[in-house]
Chains A and B, each alone.
Chain A
Amino acid sequence: MKATRREVLVTIAAMAAPAPADGQATFLNAAELECLTALADTIIPRTDTPGASDAGVFASIDRRLAANPQAAERFRGEMKVFDGGALSRFGMPFSKLTAEQRIEWLKSSGEDQFFRTVKGMTVDAYYTSREGLAGELGWHGNTFLAEFKGCTHPEHQR
């Protein structure tokens, strides 16, 4: 059986995906990295295409935080509140929740400020990654073309 392009991409991504490990991040500690990865993967999960951590989103977010210490400290504070909420509700940090519990917690916490921050960073990182931009969305630009044809659909013309 011939694998589809999407399946191949998922496989390659899963093989190549850097797993978050202690010492890999420059700003976030291991527990924070787990929380971030769990949240990013809930926002953009692996489906028939790669998900957020397949695309190494956490590394890009960590770099972004490391470059902006003020925003990074704010991020850390907001994460504490977010994860603390999960802990008091389920007795476990967000990263240890089941997929269903994660969704339940996000829905009940009303997609708060921290969620929106992480969603924004995840969107930026994922949809500019090879997995997200080329794999998921199908972008194939920034290349040499001899000619630009533009819109060729008669139904869009007049």
Chain B
Amino acid sequence: MQVRKSPEVHDVVVIGSGAAGGMAAWNLTRKGMRVLILDAGAKFQRSQFWSHVKPWQVAQKLAAGQKPPQFYVDLKTAPYRTPPGQPFDLLRVWGRGGKTNVWGRVSLRYSDLDFMGAERDGWEIPWPIRYKDVAPYYDNVDRLIGVCGGDDDQDSLPGSRYHLPPPAPRCGERLLQRAARNIGISIVAGRRAVLTRPHNGRAACHYCGACGKGCDVGAFFNASDYLIEPSFGSGRLQVIDNAVVARVLTDDEGRANGVQYFDRYTREERNVRARVVVVAASCVDSTRILLNSKSHRHPNGIGNSSDVIGRYLTEQVRLHMFGFVPELFGAPVQNDDGIGGEHVYMPRFNHRDGRKRDYLRGFGMQFWGCGAGDGASWAKEIPGFGAEFKTAVRKRYPAVVALHPYGEVLPYAENRITVDGAALDDYGVPIARIDFKYRENERKMMTEMYQTAAAILKEAKAEILPYDPTFMGVPGQAIHEHSTCRMGADPKRSALNGFCQMHDVKNVFVVDGAAFTTASEKNPTLTILALAWRATDYLANEMKAKRL
């Protein structure tokens, strides 16, 4: 079959259009580069979002054969493998903006506690960058996209001069905050990429709480509306929709010179040419592309002489604990939607009390689902049936509090993504196999995560919904995959330098979560945006200096 090759040589081809790819394209077009984005899907139409479809209308509409936008790619189109008994729930969005269309919006800055974890405990390699390197970019990102939150500044959670006002906490969150304070744990205003007032010409949040269905007015950051749409104005951005990338192509010297992709629907193979390739397809898919980009110069996948690409896959380990606070039993039901998700956050504290832990690193805590929600699935755990059961549920409904600790998963060489060529997708490209397990460190940290959540609930005198303290959850469900193409100072132990540039192949940059040296306990998107901005500043300078 003849492969269609485009003769144009793009300055930069960006693979992916989410937080990482969107930021790369926005910054590079702004700096005069001609950029082509290859997007595995197409644009989602905001007018078709089901943001204001009530829960009971959802069932009716589905029954009538209507469908909301299909954000999540199905496993037939995008398969992957896991070993028996070792599940990994991988969730991906193919389409303009990627997962930022429906993301959780939690926007926590990493601190030097995160960047310097390996210096302190000696586990695996250190990050090649520090908070001071990233701080100006966090400032840039906060100003560009709008992040609301507190301005309190801690060693585990830096503040920001540019936060928009934080939303007022709900009753349940207030009561947890008070209980935590009583036992010496600080719960602060959360940080979220939601506009609590109009920002850069965009509408403020109208507190409908349906962010997970996509925002009908774009009041939280998504890469499509905030980064890609504005970049078209430069005249230097092109996007090819439904371009499922298979490989980065190289010349005889091993330098990248293009990208091979398949049309999502016709399955036709096409090649585009590039001076520089920016990989931003989300951690697992980026890694798969790199490992599949084999050549005589790169027998182990492009840029992988160190053999670290695919290894050290990290996620976060979490749990969910629910309770009912007595002050709110039978209270008048309020509209608790707010900005969707919690308004408060418990920063990591386990490094402060001087007590040595039997595990490394730490955990924070989120609180989504406090107050009157648009369902009551917790009621399954309320015993009994009949009129009494109904009364018991109604009484507890305004009193729901929810605690979700998130813990760092250490990088392990054996937690890895591989492609072995035995299993192919519909395009004939080897699929990823994900081998991932929680280990001793995570199990020990989980014990303190359970204890901490239970202690806060106990201090709040809450009725605690039954839970299984040995339950670790299914890996992947935090949707925070990182570290399979990590940055580091030593090219023998890392694939990228501190600017997300490959040690082996100078004209390839990997700017999504794969580049992270460690996971930390925090949600990664804000840091992905900051690092992608920083990387593409460097890229543009290198190109101008003719070093690329």
Q: Select A156's contact among B54, B178, B338, B339, beta carbons within 8 Å.
A: B178
A43, B376: Cβ atoms under 8 Å?
A: no
Residues from chain B with a CB closer than 8 A to the CB of A137 are 333, 372, 376, 393-394, 397
For the complex, what is the distance from the CA of A60 to the CA of B56, rounded to whole Å? 10
B347, chain A: closest CB distance, angstroms: 20
A157, B372: Cβ atoms under 8 Å?
A: no
In the complex, per-residue mask of B325-362: 1 if CB is within 8 Å of any chain A CB, else 0 = 00100001101111100010000000000000000000
Q: Select B168's contact among A59, A63, A149, beta carbons within 8 Å.
A: A149
Residues from chain A with a CB closer than 8 A to the CB of B169 are 150-151
A123, B343: Cβ atoms under 8 Å?
A: no
A158, B178: Cβ atoms under 8 Å?
A: yes
Residues from chain B with a CB closer than 8 A to the CB of A149 are 168
Residues from chain B with a CB closer than 8 A to the CB of A140 are 333, 335
Beyond A123-B379, A141-B372, A143-B208, is A151–B389 a contact (Cβ under 8 Å)? Answer: no
Q: How many residues of B contact A (CB 8 A)?
A: 47
B386, A129: Cβ atoms under 8 Å?
A: no
Is B546 among interface residues, defined by CB-CB distance under 8 A? Answer: no
Is B187 among interface residues, defined by CB-CB distance under 8 A? Answer: no
A24, chain B: closest CB distance, angstroms: 12
Residues from chain A with a CB closer than 8 A to the CB of B283 are none
Residues from chain B with a CB closer than 8 A to the CB of A72 are none
Is A130 among interface residues, defined by CB-CB distance under 8 A? Answer: yes
B174, A156: Cβ atoms under 8 Å?
A: yes
B59, A133: Cβ atoms under 8 Å?
A: no
B333, A63: Cβ atoms under 8 Å?
A: no
Could you tell me which residues of chain A, from 121 to 158, have a CB within 8 Å of some CB in chain B? Answer: 123-125, 127-130, 133, 136-151, 153, 155-158
Residues from chain A with a CB closer than 8 A to the CB of B337 are 141-143, 145, 148
Beyond A142-B52, A142-B208, is A123–B335 a contact (Cβ under 8 Å)? Answer: no
Q: How many residues of A contact B (CB 8 A)?
A: 44
Residues from chain B with a CB closer than 8 A to the CB of A145 are 206-208, 335, 337
How many inter-chain contacts with C-beta < 8 Å in the A-B complex? 130
A127, chain B: closest CB distance, angstroms: 4
Shortest 5 CB-CB contacts between residues of A and residues of B: A150-B168, A138-B333, A127-B376, A128-B55, A145-B207
B394, A44: Cβ atoms under 8 Å?
A: no
Is A119 among interface residues, defined by CB-CB distance under 8 A? Answer: yes
Is B265 among interface residues, defined by CB-CB distance under 8 A? Answer: no
B216, chain A: closest CB distance, angstroms: 10
Supplied contacts A43-B385, A139-B333, A150-B167, 12 more A-B pairs, CB within 8 Å:
A42-B385, A43-B389, A111-B385, A123-B376, A123-B377, A125-B59, A127-B377, A129-B56, A133-B375, A139-B373, A140-B333, A143-B335
B509, chain A: closest CB distance, angstroms: 40
For the complex, what is the distance from the CA of A133 to the CA of B170, rounded to whole Å? 20
Beyond A120-B380, A144-B208, A151-B171, is A60–B336 a contact (Cβ under 8 Å)? Answer: no
Residues from chain A with a CB closer than 8 A to the CB of B336 are 141
Is B209 among interface residues, defined by CB-CB distance under 8 A? Answer: yes
Could you tell me which residues of chain B, from 363 to 410, have a CB within 8 Å of some CB in chain A? Answer: 372-377, 379-380, 385-387, 389-390, 393-394, 397
Chain A contacts to B: CB under 8 angstroms = 42-45, 47, 49, 59-60, 63, 103, 106, 111, 116, 119-120, 123-125, 127-130, 133, 136-151, 153, 155-158
Q: Select A45's contact among B59, B62, B171, B386, beta carbons within 8 Å.
A: B386
Residues from chain A with a CB closer than 8 A to the CB of B377 are 123-124, 127
For the complex, what is the distance from the CA of A4 to the CA of B376, rounded to whole Å? 24
For the complex, what is the distance from the CA of A128 to the CA of B377, rounded to whole Å? 9
Residues from chain A with a CB closer than 8 A to the CB of B62 are 63
For the complex, what is the distance from the CA of A129 to the CA of B376, rounded to whole Å? 11
B547, chain A: closest CB distance, angstroms: 50
In the complex, per-residue mask of B55-70: 1 if CB is within 8 Å of any chain A CB, else 0 = 1101100110000000
A153, chain B: closest CB distance, angstroms: 6
B375, A124: Cβ atoms under 8 Å?
A: yes
A157, B339: Cβ atoms under 8 Å?
A: no
A115, chain B: closest CB distance, angstroms: 8
Beyond A137-B376, A151-B170, is A130–B56 a contact (Cβ under 8 Å)? Answer: yes
B341, chain A: closest CB distance, angstroms: 13
Is B529 among interface residues, defined by CB-CB distance under 8 A? Answer: no
For the complex, what is the distance from the CA of A145 to the CA of B386, rounded to whole Å? 36
A133, B386: Cβ atoms under 8 Å?
A: no
Q: Which A residue sits closest to B384, measured CB to CB? A: A111
